[in-house]
Amino acid sequence: MSGSMRVSITASLFPCAMALVSPAVPAKAGDLDLVLPVACEIGRDCFVQNFFDHDPSPDRRDYSCGRLSYDGHSGTDFRVMDIPSMMRGVTVVAAAGGTVKAVRDGMPDVGLAGTGREALQGREAGNGVVIDHGDGWETQYSHLSKGSTVVKPGQRVEAGTPLGRIGMSGLAEFPHVDFSVRHEGRKVDPFTGSADPSACGDTTRTLWREDTLAALRYRPTGGLVSGFAEGPAASEEARKGSYARETLRDPPALVFWADVFGAQAGDEQQVRITAPDGSVIHEHASTLKSSNVSWFAFSGRKRPPEGWQAGKYQGTYTLLRDGTVVARLEDSVEVRR
């Protein structure tokens, strides 16, 4: 068996952010001096999956003129790999000093699938914190985990002060914090210091500190998590950690799955499964027909008539662009008879 499933990304925005973003005058360098709003290592423990959309058309374009965004997105999504990673806890911190303006908590970490769009009207941001930095500047931290907020309105915070933890409350389809910046009510991309479409590719007016911008080195594509299943794999179950097993007993099938971000039309994906003796028992390759910010793929084979060879099986997912590897995920599972 083989297959792939495209996973759509739904806007994870505050209610007011559903409107079109009006071009703003570029911010002056130094108006804000932002640090990383998450206490994790970018590219290892957490990833930026969606950036600010600089394309005024129904298409999308991120600050680097790439496609890691979706139409109308006016924040920066810092995500963890899956729900088990979220449950272990990743702290969200203030990106700059200021005064807490608003806090919301109490919404469950079940996202869009567990609540429904209509029930989330007016509360799309889920649990969150808004900080007033003065001179018309605000930052907002959305989709925090239920019960995790540790600040109150009126409280003074400094850069790095804990606010809560990454969650999946509100209009969210994966665990993350949507970090947004506003100046005098207008949304601003912290990477460019502007919402202007012409700012694409220009970080000379960035609001990030120099060391933070370096840590946020642009990654158009990357691997998140992978593993084995006993049959066709589902993205929702994979992200819940349902397939996180080190041992399978005589499974009806061996399927290797992978969750990646930034897949592009024309990319070639390859899945390979090797047996304990090193022999390749399954290979599958295909070319992606469309670009997807989030991509979930799986491929595998049914149990052979003679049964599985007992021991450790290795799975490898490789994504290639113009012949160059842009993402690779590997995992193994012990099979017992």
Q: What does pTM read for this prediction?
A: 0.85
Per-residue tokens: 324: 């160059």
Ranges in the chain, pLDDT < 50: 1-30
Cα–Cα distances (Å) from 286 to 3, 102, 280, 292, 331, in that order, read 10, 48, 18, 15, 20
What CATH architecture is 12-215?
A: Distorted Sandwich (2.70)
**CATH hierarchy code of domain 222-336:** 2.60.40.2550
Question: Whose CA is closest to 63, among 166, 143, 170, 181?
Answer: 181
Question: DSSP secondary-structure letter at 120?
Answer: G
Res 77: pLDDT: 97
Res 109: pLDDT: 92
Dihedral angle, C-alpha 219, 76, 18, 117, nearest 10 °: 90
Exposed / middle / buried, residue 94 (Cβ in 10 Å: 0-12, 13-18, 19+): buried
Q: Are 283 and 271 in contact (CB under 8 A)?
A: yes
Per-domain boundaries in the chain: 12-215, 222-336
CA distance linking residue 55 with residue 61, whole number of Å = 5
Per-residue tokens: 77: 């999504």
Same-fold call for 12-215 versus 222-336: no
Res 19: pLDDT: 28
Res 114: pLDDT: 66
Angle at alpha carbon of residue 35, lines to 31 and 36, rounded to 5°: 135
Res 237: pLDDT: 93
Q: Which helix (H) or strand (E) holds 301?
A: strand 292-302
Dihedral angle, C-alpha 64, 67, 20, 194, nearest 10 °: -10
B/e letters for 112-133, b = 16+ CB within 10 Å, e = fewer, are: beebeeeebeebbbbbbbbbeb
Dihedral angle, C-alpha 227, 148, 172, 3, nearest 10 °: 10
Res 110: pLDDT: 87
Question: Whose CA is closest to 137, among 24, 12, 11?
Answer: 24
Q: Are 186 and 115 in contact (CB under 8 A)?
A: no
DSSP lists the bridge partners of residue 269 as 286, 319
